[in-house]
Structure 1
Amino acid sequence: MLDDFMTRATLAGIGVAGAAAPLGCFVVWRRMAYFGDATAHAAILGVALSLAFEMSIFPGTLAVALIMALTVTQLAGRGYAMDTLLGVMAHSSLAFGLVAVSFLSGIRIDLMAYLFGDILAVSRTDLLVIWGGAALVIALITWRWSALLASTLNEDLAHASGFDPKRERLILTLCLAITVAVAIKVVGVLLIAALLIIPAAAARVAARTPEAMAAIAAGIGILSTVAGLRGAYIFDTPAGPSIVCVAALIFLVMNLARWRDQERA
C-alpha cells in the first residue's frame, strides 16, 4: 500500500493535519498567528544547517524552530512589542536561511520544495517521522489539555487551579516547533501557518465548546488534505497550496452560512 506515492502523501497530510488543527486552536485563542508564522520561517535556516552538516532535515528544523520560539517567548516581556519582535525575527531568520542555502556548494536543493512543500515526494521514512511527531504533539495536547486551556483563558485562573502558565506556554511552544518540523515536507515553511490557523478559524464558526472546536478543526484539516491532493492530481496544481486553498474555501463557505443564518434570525 505504501508503494503508491499518493497513498504516502495522503497519510502524511492526514498526520500533519491531525496534529496542526488542535494546536491551531490554541494559536487562534492566544492570538499567536504571527508567532506560528515566525517559527515556521525560521525552519528554512534549520534546513540549511541540516544540509551543511549532512544530517536529517527533521532534527535541524526542530532545533532552530524551538530556539526561535523560545527566544521570542523570552524577549516578549522585556520591553519589546510582540508584533515588532515577531516581524524582525520572522523575516530575518527567513533571509538568513535563504542566504545560508546559497552558500551550500556541491549540494542540489529544491528550494521551492521547502518553501511550498513537496508532499508527493514523501518517503516511508518521512512518513514515520511525520506520524511520530504528530503522535507526540497530540499526546502532549491531550495530556495537558485542561492546563493549556486554563492558561489560555486566564493565567490567574491557571495559578488558582495549580497550573504553571509558563510551563504550559513552554509545552505549547514545543508542540509548535515539532509541528513545524514535520509539516515542512508537506506544505513548506510559507504555508505551515495557514494549515495551523485556517482549519481552527473555520471550526470556530460551528463549535460550541473548546473540545468540539479541536475535533472539528481536525476534521476540516483532514478533509482539506484529502480534497486538496485529489484536486492537485486532477488539475495538475501544486499539492501544498491546493490543500490550503481547499481549507480557505471551507472557511469561506462556513462563514457565509453563518452570516446567512444571522440575517434570517
Structure 2
Amino acid sequence: MPDFLLNALLAGLTLALVAGPLGSFVVWRRMAYFGDTLSHAALLGVALGLMLDVSPALTVTVGCVLLAVLLVTLQQRQPLASDTLLGILAHSTLSLGLVALSFMHDVRIDLMSYLFGDLLAVSPTDLAWIIGGSALVLALLAWLWRPLLAITVHEELARVEGLPVAAIRLALMLLIAVVIAVAMKIVGVLLITSLLIIPAAAAQRHARTPEQMAVGASLLGLLAVCCGLALSWYQDTPAGPSIVVSAAALFLASFALPKRSG
C-alpha cells in the first residue's frame, strides 16, 4: 500500500473512532448546528495561521476553542435564541475567513482542500497531529462520560446532584472544537459535522444503551472511511466527500434493518 494511502487510512480511521462517541452527544443534545458554526469558523483560523505564519492547525484549534467559549458566554448574556446566534457567528466567521484569504496575494492557497478536505495529502506530521488530538479527546471523553450522560438525560437533576453543569457543557463544546480542528484536513470545514452526526444517527436506531450507540457509531464511521477511500482510489473521486457519501449510504441502509426496541 502506498505511504500516502496508508496515512490517509490511518487518519480517517482515527477520526472515525473519536467521532463515534462524540457524535453521539452531538445527536443527543441536538448540537449539529453548533458543530457547523465551529467548522465554518475553522476557515478563519486557517486565514489567521497564514497571516501570522504559524501552523494553521494550531490557529484553527485555538480559534475553535475561543469561539466555543464566546458562544457559551453570549448564550448566557444575550436574549437572542441559540440558533439565531449560531447562524450569525457561523456565516460571519466563514465570510470573514474567505475575505481575509482573498487579500493574501503572495500566499498560494488551495481553498478547495480547506473547504472539502484533502485526505490523500495527509503527511506524517498531519497524521501525528490527528492521532494525538484524537487520543486526547477520547481520554477526556472517557473521563467525562458519566457526567456528560447525566446532564444529557436530565440537566436540572444533574445540577441538583451537584454536578457543575455549565463546566461540563463547556468541556463538551471544547472537545467538539478540537475534533473539528483535527478533522479539517480529512473532510474540510464544510463537511466536518457530517462525520459527527451521520454515523451516530445511523447507530441510534439500533442501539439500546448509550454505550452501544457510541460503539456502533464508531464502527459505522470506520466502515464509511474504508468505503470512501476505496471509492476515491478506484473511481478517482474526492476522498472527503466520498467518505461522507459512504456514511450517508450506511445511514439509509440502516432503515432496511428493523429498529431495535427496549
TM-score, normalization by structure 2: 0.96
- The aligned residue for residue 145 of structure 1 is 145
Q: Is the 8 A contact 2:68 2:170 kept in 1?
A: no
CA distance in 2, matches of 1:196, 1:145: 17
Give the fraction of aligned pairs with identical amino acids, expressed as a percent.
52
Partner of 1:86: 86
Pairing of 1:30-69 with structure 2 (within 5 A): 30-69=29-68
Q: Which amino acid aligns with 1:53?
A: L
**In structure 2, what is the Cα distance between the partners aligned to 1:100 and 1:64?**
15
Instruction: Tell me how far 1:189 sits from its aligned partner.
Output: 0.3
Superposition RMSD on alpha carbons, in Å? 1.4
AA aligned opposite 1:20: A
1:206 aligns with 2:206: yes
Match of 1:125 in 2: 125
Paired amino acid for 1:229? L
TM superposition shift of 1:113: 0.1
After TM superposition, list the pairs within 5 Å mapping 1:1-265 onto structure 2: 4-77=3-76, 78-258=78-258
Mind listing any 5+ residue stretches in structure 2 that lack a counterpart?
A: none
CA displacement at 1:38 relative to structure 2: 0.4
CA distance in structure 2 between the aligned counterparts of 1:156 and 1:63, rounded to whole angstroms: 31
CA shift at 1:73, angstroms? 1.7
Distance in structure 2 (CA, Å) of the matches to 1:257 and 1:176: 30
Shift of 1:257: 2.3
1:107-141 Cα distance to aligned partner (Å, 9 max, x none): 10100000000000000000000000000110011
Number of aligned positions between the proteins: 260
Instruction: Letter of the 1:24 partner, please give it.
Output: G
Tell me, in whole angstroms, the C-alpha distance in 2 between the residues paired with 1:153 and 1:70.
23
Q: Could you list the runs of 5+ residues in structure 1 that have no partner in the other structure?
A: none
1:189 corresponds to which letter in structure 2?
V
Give deviations 1:78-101, integer Å, cap 9, x for gaps: 311111111111111100000111
Distance 2:188 2:248 in 1: 17
Q: 1:161: how far off?
A: 3.5
Q: Is the 8 A contact 2:21 2:218 kept in 1?
A: yes
- 1:66 Cα deviation from its structure 2 partner: 1.2
Which AA in structure 2 matches 1:130?
I
